[in-house]
Chains A and B, each alone.
Chain A
C-alpha cells in the first residue's frame, strides 16, 4: 500500500503496516519480524475496537461531539510512539516534529473513517459487508 511506503520514507519511522479484520492478516514494512508484525496487528485491532466502544459511550453523553466517530489513537512511550489511523499502524521514534508530521500524513492520505469501524475493517472481505456482519 502506498501510504506504508510513504511513511517508511520519513526519517525516524521504524515500521508501518496495515492490519485487517482478523488482526492476524497484515502487510508491513520496516523493522519488525513477521511474528512481531502479527502481534502488532492483533494489538492494534483490539485497541481500535476498544477506542471505538469508548467513543460510542461518550457520544451518549455529548451528542454530536467531535470525537465521534473515532479515527485512531496514539500511544506515546518513552522513546517510541505507536500511531494508528483507520487500519494503518506506524511505529516511530520520539523525534521532534515527527509525531505531528506522521499524524498529518496519515489523516491526509487516509481521509476520515465514516460510520461503523467494523464495516471499514471488514471491507476487505468484499461484497455486501453489512449483510455479512449483521
Chain B
C-alpha cells in the first residue's frame, strides 16, 4: 500500500512513512494544510517513542495481570482537538476529527508495507 492509499482514509491531511529510529522516510501532505516535513519528522519520532512505551506497558501488563490481547501492538493514536495522528507499522496518517474513522485508519496502517 502506498502513501496515496493512506491518503484515501477519510479526513486524511497527511500520510508518512518513518524508519525504526523515527526519521521521516517519505510523506504526502494535502495541499492547503499547515503541516510541514519538519513537523511530520517530529511526529514520526513521537510515533516511535509512543510505540516503544506502549509495547513496554502491554508486555508488563500482560505479565503482571495475566490479561492477554495487547501484544503484538497494532498502533497508537494521539487525539487532538481537531486532528488525530494514527500510526503503526512504520507509517502514520494525520486525520481531521470531523471525518475520523479510527478503525479504518488502523486497518489501513496494518496493510502499510512500503
Task: Return chain B residues, CB-CB under 8 Å to A55.
Answer: 78, 80
CB under 8 Å from chain B, chain A span 53-105: 54-55, 57-58, 61-80, 85, 93, 96-97, 99-100, 103
CA separation between A97 and B104, bound complex, in Å? 10
**How many residues on A have C-beta within 8 angstroms of the other chain's C-beta atoms?**
39
CA separation between A85 and B82, bound complex, in Å? 14
**Beta-carbon contact of A66 and B70 below 8 Å:** no
**Contact A74 B36, CB 8 Å, known A66-B96, A66-B97, A79-B69:** no
The digit string for B50-79, where 1 denotes a CB below 8 A from any CB of A, is 100110011001001101111111111111
- Chain B CB within 8 A of A51 CB: yes
CA separation between A73 and B47, bound complex, in Å? 12
Max count, chain A CB within 10 A of own CB: residue among B79, B101, B103: B79
**Beta-carbon contact of B81 and A112 below 8 Å:** yes
Stretch from B1-9, B16-24, B37-45 that touches the partner: B37-45
A/B pair count, beta carbons within 8 Å: 121
Binding site for B on A (CB under 8 A): 36, 39, 43, 47, 50-51, 54-55, 57-58, 61-80, 85, 93, 96-97, 99-100, 103, 107, 112
Q: List 24 A-B residue pairs with CB atoms under 8 Å apart, sorted by A's residue number.
A: A36-B65, A39-B61, A55-B80, A57-B42, A58-B42, A62-B34, A65-B34, A65-B39, A66-B82, A67-B83, A68-B80, A69-B80, A70-B79, A74-B79, A75-B54, A75-B57, A76-B73, A76-B75, A77-B69, A77-B71, A79-B68, A79-B70, A97-B103, A112-B81
